[in-house]
Amino acid sequence: MARVQGPDPVGALQKLVSADLRGLAHGEVRGTLLLHPKGQFRALLAVGLWHGEVWLLAPQGFGQRAWEQLQRYLQFSRCRLVPFAGPVTVLVGAGWRNALLAGHASGLEGAGGPPVFGESLSGLPGGVVLADVGHERGAADREELELARIQAGFPAWGKELTDDVLPQEVGLKEPWVSQSKGCYVGQETVARLATYGHVNRLLVRLSAPAADQKLKTMGPLPWPLTSKENTKPVGRLTSLASSPQGEVWALALLHRAFARNGQELYAGTVGFTVQAVLA
């Protein structure tokens, strides 16, 4: 978490990030991207407004990278980022807000309450509270959350979202990437692809019937994917998780010629099937 301070923080961010921030209201948060001038991914963010203060959210472990990239641009608008050093609690689940209010009603009401933003940056229902409100709840199981994210088809920074990826390849469209706002970093490439072209890779969700012991010996992700028709790599498997029933779910970036439901693919000798095209 970080605050953006300066003469016009929302106006400065509007010229940089891909989402349209016009009309941002108190308590509202909008997911967005920072792109390279040529349109490739650089940072996954959310912008929130709380009692006149502009806040930036980044996924856990990526805040410093996001702030460094943004500050290069913000300095020209006489704005600066101030990282938040206090406690932050991330709540995930469809009933996160009701549970939060029920357990902390007196401390979260009124202007003196901590900022609360309804964005998890994982594609799952949830929110962020700038306070320690999770001590009475058990920590979420990371494998369970990863499985839910994969099943939701949402790309993660460092996995599906890397510096060579375009937002159109991973299905991040409106409102994450605006087609109607004015200029922002990378907007020319986004507009050109929307009008004249298409991307060569697409995000897909894969499944395998049961966890194969060979998966444990294949090393860190990403893994190259091949097909029966083509032994050369046709994509890369970027995220993987197992369900309680033993089924394996994964996300992958595939060449568009192979991104179709039912397509059989292989990571080494382990077989996967495309269940859904997500972009």
- pLDDT tens for the chain, 279 residues: list them: 999 999 999 999 999 999 999 999 999 999 999 999 999 999 999 999 999 999 999 999 999 999 999 999 999 999 999 999 999 988 888 888 887 777 654 455 455 678 999 999 999 999 999 988 765 555 668 899 999 999 999 999 999 999 999 999 999 999 999 999 989 999 999 999 988 888 999 999 999 987 667 787 788 999 999 999 888 999 999 999 999 888 999 999 999 999 999 999 999 989 999 999 999
In the chain, % helix, strand, coil (3-state, to 5) comes to 25, 30, 45
> In this predicted structure, what is the pLDDT of residue 211?
67
What is the distance in angstroms between the CA of the first residue and the CA of the last residue of the chain?
A: 29
Q: Tokens representing 206?
A: 């894969």
User: Does domain 2-143 bear CATH number 3.30.70.1400?
Assistant: yes
> In this predicted structure, what is the pLDDT of residue 165?
98
Residue ranges covered by each domain of the chain:
2-143, 200-279
What SS3 state is found at 208? strand
| 200-279 matches 2-143 in CATH topology | no
What SS3 state is found at 10? helix
Amino acid at 4: V
> In this predicted structure, what is the pLDDT of residue 95?
85
Peptide bond into 175 cis (omega under 30): yes
CB 203, CB 252: distance < 8 Å: yes
Q: Tokens representing 37?
A: 């001038």
> In this predicted structure, what is the pLDDT of residue 188?
94
> In this predicted structure, what is the pLDDT of residue 111?
57
> In this predicted structure, what is the pLDDT of residue 106?
47
Q: Which numeric CATH code is attached to 200-279?
A: 2.40.30.110
Q: Who contacts 11 (Cβ-Cβ below 8 Å, separation ≥6)?
A: 77
